[in-house]
Structure 1
Amino acid sequence: MEQWKEKLNTWGKWVGMTGVAIWVIFSLFDSKSAGYSTIEVLVLFSVLFFGYRYGAGAGTICATICGMCISFFTGQLNYLAMLAILGLMSGAFRALGKIGSVVGFVTTAAGIGMLYSLEILKNSWIELGIGVVLFWILPGYLTMPEEKRQTVVTIAPPMNDFDGSIGMRLRKIEEAFLELSKLFAGLEVEPALGEEEMLWRCRYMENRMVFGEQMMELAEMIRSFREELGRSTDITMQVNQAIRERLTEMNLKVDRISMVEGENKRSELIITLCAEFGQSVSVKEIAEQLSRAIGRKLRPQGDRAGAVGAQLKTIRLEEETQFQMLYGVARTVKEESECSGDSFSFLELSGGKVLMSLCDGMGSGERAFEESRRAIELVEQLIEAGFHPQTVLRLVNQAFVMNEEFHPIAIDVAVADLYTGLCDFTKSGAAVTFIRHGEQIEILQSETLPIGILQETLPMESLYRLKDGDLVIMMTDGVLEAIQGNKKEDVLKEFCLTQQGRNPREIADKVLEFAIGQEENRIAKDDMTVLVAGIWKK
């Protein structure tokens, strides 16, 4: 249906232009045979056209010139005054769009005709009607007001000049952080004189090494960011005309437009704009309209939806993903505990990615929950900032090691790319994760210690390409420990294979119910959380 609308819109433009051309050609051969004056039609059309496109001043000037020519040949100065008023009114209502200028133009002409009984209006209603119709059927980009054509389009800086400006600055910053990391790692410390001083200096060395590693990680992130921007291509000018035309048709005033395309050919569009005439336009509707205009399906980035009103607003649109993910969670609390020590997160990121994270705090209760909650929030912030998942868990580990009040925690993180289906699983002391594909289940296990025990840790990382209909089942160790026998993973795996549904929430509920059923008297001995996510093609 939308494709047919686009075709009809294109055909309408060509029909309008063809109709005007045919009328002009035939009228030049015989201007009186049809019972109307071609000259009067051209005069009235020109006044309306120039007044709407260039403003009241241009409309008045055009009308004055036409009026002087007519008055010179006819000897009636009334034409001059009458056309000047029409030119002024055609531009006075241009803020209301085409319909506003047409209504103002026709109403003014009718008022002048009734008040002064001028012959050119009394006998020129046919010419007036033809002029208005010609103006109305012209394509929007020909009659578009000039200030809308001069929309500021900025890209700072052009991507092909990236290495010569911001790229050079980022490279210098990267080098500075690398030198800082080497400096902190290479400082020599004098031998300690006593046990207390030795302990203090050991603690100092640990903190210094942590700080040096953080500088190294930051330098690596800046390098990755610089390379990513350097691979981007500015394609704003290629799509600027189509975008601007469509936004103008939606009565949206554009301040800035930029569009970049990465090496993977995914587009990101950034627009600063506002709505005219007091209306409000949803960002989702803007994305749908621009998708049809440029031939690429766009969507609001992350959770940045909402609407565009009278105030300038910057919106970010990204190319639609191939997949979508839905999740469900099921939880229970340890017996006699008021609060679960588990925390989880399911967050839609920019760039068409989704973050799933599950944290198991030591023990149960408010303290365990507070520590797991803070860890999850830190993971979210670092992932959104662009850090690699393995780097994120190393930084969280360092933060927990340096704070003696924190207890060890187990973290499970998965970042899925909804364009390709590639998912990065990273674990640190976490329980198993099941990936179900049809009648097969793959088990991901972690052999690393929980966060907050050792100064240095290397979280387990594995990549897996998810396919249409796959399910990711994450859980805390309370679920696995409830299973009877020595082969707990195999028992739980077989149970998951027996489940025929594909609803993530239902799967999570059934897995949790199965684990509780394994406990004596169905009493949970530990907090249990099951997080299930399903991926499907759109």
Structure 2
Amino acid sequence: MHNRNYTEQDAIQRLLLFEEGLSGIIGLMKEEKKDVSKDDMDFLCQSLTQDVCRKCPKYRECYGVKQKETIGEIAAILEQAYQCSGVDGRMASAKFRRACVFFQPFMEEISWLYRLIYQNIYWEQRYDELKQVMCRQLDEQRLFIKECRGHMKKGEEIQGRKKIALKNLFFRNGLRFIRGREYVDGSGLLQLTVLVCPILGTKKSVLVKECLEKYYEKAFYKGMEGSWLHPGENRLSFIEENGFHILFGQKCCNKKGENVCGDTFSFTNFGRKRAVMLLSDGMGTGKKAYEDSRRLIETLEDLLEAGLSEEFALEMIQDALLFQDRKAFSTIDAAVISLKTGILKLLKAGGMATFIRHRNSVERIVPAALPPGCRINQQFDLKYKKLYDGDMVIMVSDGMLEFENMPEIPFRMESLIEKIKTDNAQVFADQLIEAVPVLEDGYDDDRTVLVASIWEKGHRNVE
């Protein structure tokens, strides 16, 4: 046990050093750059004097007693050129046009030099934008490492009267309680890690769960450990059972003539704390669209499984897609439901509207964001809604809403949703996709509908 504690402390210390190293790198990347505009001005004036002005009989006058006026005239022309994205002879003052002996070659030289400077400015801005992306990624990694380090130290050792009470309770069930830790996570759920051993032979691990539920007067889920406690020390983890259950349903329909649906979806419960629905619509239809959307969904799933927040995971994907060679964009819809509070978090990047069916109404949540990877520093739609017993969350791909653009169809999706009375998520998905009108001579696309039915424990049973 001493070696295990040493290993944990060593891992925590290594994470801390890595976190500090990332902070140092971020600090170096954020150092202020030199004043490019002054260097550009010096370069332009030097080039003008060498290539044009030095040949002029008024050179000593313009860059001697009138140097301030000459530099000011050049700066004024550049300022206008920056606003208009180009140089024009009319940008010079009337006085300067009359006085300048080599006015035409002077303006042509400024125009050529400005194009060079403009390209430098463009690439400098592009470099700064990409550097911002890298800084944000590194900073998010630093925060994630900090969070992991906090999880490793999180919780309090079970001590005092609580430990004595648990020891007695476990002993009466043929178990020896060695030690334990407890903490409340960010979702407000109690989590426990206990070290126990059977007094004789082997025991079922459900005994540990029953003892903890009796003492804490809460229902718990057990971790992925085995069903039996073997002789010696056994480490088990538990998390408080949530107040909501989610049932999922889905239905897909390929575009006519296609063997593969270009939409990809996913349902997952992460740590029994949150239920996540993901829907991605690839550009176009068929196998190519399916591969693009599937890759996006699988990447997002991996990041969420690693413990990253939905926002951070989407930002990482967004930044990675900025560097793709081909512009094949796929939308992302994410619906995250807290199983503790029933709060729905919607994140949209180019997806279609999401609907919430309440007991007596249907709510449409309209997106505004572009698909990920379209531009730097792109923002995603983020909305929160409170769900109650009996509510349904309905996510759809764009093919499900094509009928709303048909002038001969007078109703909208809300009407179809209201007419379906079932509480069964799968039956609802089947009936909705059948109810959506598709004209024979109209535009046809992949159609996907995902449904999550939410209900509070103890309220009722769902079909």
TM-score, normalisation: structure 2: 0.69
Residue 307 of structure 2 is aligned to residue 307 of structure 1: no
Contact 1:422 1:466 in 2 (8 A): yes
Residue of structure 1 in register with 2:389 after alignment: 468
Residue 440 of structure 2 is aligned to residue 521 of structure 1: yes
Contact 1:400 1:407 in 2 (8 A): no
From 419, 425, 446, the counterpart of 1:498: 419
Residue 363 of structure 2 is aligned to residue 442 of structure 1: yes
- Please give the residue correspondences for 1:2-81 in structure 2 after superposition, counting only pairs within 5 Å: none
**Pair 309,404 (structure 1): closer, same or farther in 2 beyond 3 Å:** farther
From 429, 452, 458, the counterpart of 1:533: 452
**Pair 318,487 (structure 1): closer, same or farther in 2 beyond 3 Å:** farther
Contact 1:435 1:442 in 2 (8 A): yes
**Pair 248,219 (structure 1): closer, same or farther in 2 beyond 3 Å:** same
From 179, 183, 202, the counterpart of 2:28: 183
One-letter code aligned to 1:399: A
- Please give the residue correspondences for 1:374-453 in structure 2 after superposition, counting only pairs within 5 Å: 374-405=295-326, 407-453=328-374
Structure 2: distance between partners of 1:369 and 1:274: 50
**Pair 489,456 (structure 1): closer, same or farther in 2 beyond 3 Å:** farther
**Pair 458,348 (structure 1): closer, same or farther in 2 beyond 3 Å:** same
> How far has the Cα of 1:489 moved from its partner?
11
> How far has the Cα of 1:209 moved from its partner?
2.8
Structure 2: distance between partners of 1:363 and 1:182: 43
**Number of matched residues?**
376
SS at match of 1:327: strand
Residue of structure 2 in register with 1:111 after alignment: none
Structure 1: distance between partners of 2:183 and 2:410: 46
Structure 1: distance between partners of 2:324 and 2:14: 34
> How far has the Cα of 1:399 moved from its partner?
1.2
Contact 1:261 1:267 in 2 (8 A): yes
From 472, 480, 484, the counterpart of 2:401: 480
Residue of structure 1 in register with 2:192 after alignment: 269
SS at match of 2:328: coil
Query: Percent sequence identity over matched residues?
Result: 27
**Pair 332,524 (structure 1): closer, same or farther in 2 beyond 3 Å:** farther
SS at match of 1:502: coil
- Please give the residue correspondences for 1:109-124 in structure 2 after superposition, counting only pairs within 5 Å: none
Residue of structure 1 in register with 2:181 after alignment: 258
Contact 2:157 2:180 in 1 (8 A): no
Higher RCO (CA < 8 A, seq sep 6+): 2
Contact 2:264 2:280 in 1 (8 A): yes
Residue 134 of structure 2 is aligned to residue 214 of structure 1: no
**Pair 216,523 (structure 1): closer, same or farther in 2 beyond 3 Å:** same
Residue of structure 2 in register with 1:290 after alignment: 212
Deviates more, 1:518-527 or 1:451-460: 518-527
SS at match of 2:374: coil
Please tell me whether Structure 1 or Structure 2 has the larger radius of gyration of its CA atoms.
1
Structure 1: distance between partners of 2:218 and 2:157: 13
TM-score, normalisation: structure 1: 0.60
Structure 2: distance between partners of 1:525 and 1:246: 64
One-letter code aligned to 1:375: L
> How far has the Cα of 1:531 moved from its partner?
0.6
Structure 1: distance between partners of 2:313 and 2:133: 14
Contact 1:448 1:458 in 2 (8 A): yes
Aligned Cα root-mean-square deviation (Å): 4.0
One-letter code aligned to 1:281: K
Structure 2: distance between partners of 1:403 and 1:242: 59
Contact 2:189 2:340 in 1 (8 A): no
Structure 2: distance between partners of 1:209 and 1:473: 36
Structure 1: distance between partners of 2:20 and 2:411: 49
**Pair 510,285 (structure 1): closer, same or farther in 2 beyond 3 Å:** farther
Structure 1: distance between partners of 2:388 and 2:338: 11
Structure 2: distance between partners of 1:499 and 1:357: 23
**Pair 366,185 (structure 1): closer, same or farther in 2 beyond 3 Å:** farther
Unpaired stretches in structure 1, ≥5 consecutive residues: 1-150
One-letter code aligned to 1:356: M
Unpaired stretches in structure 2, ≥5 consecutive residues: 41-114, 458-463
One-letter code aligned to 1:297: A
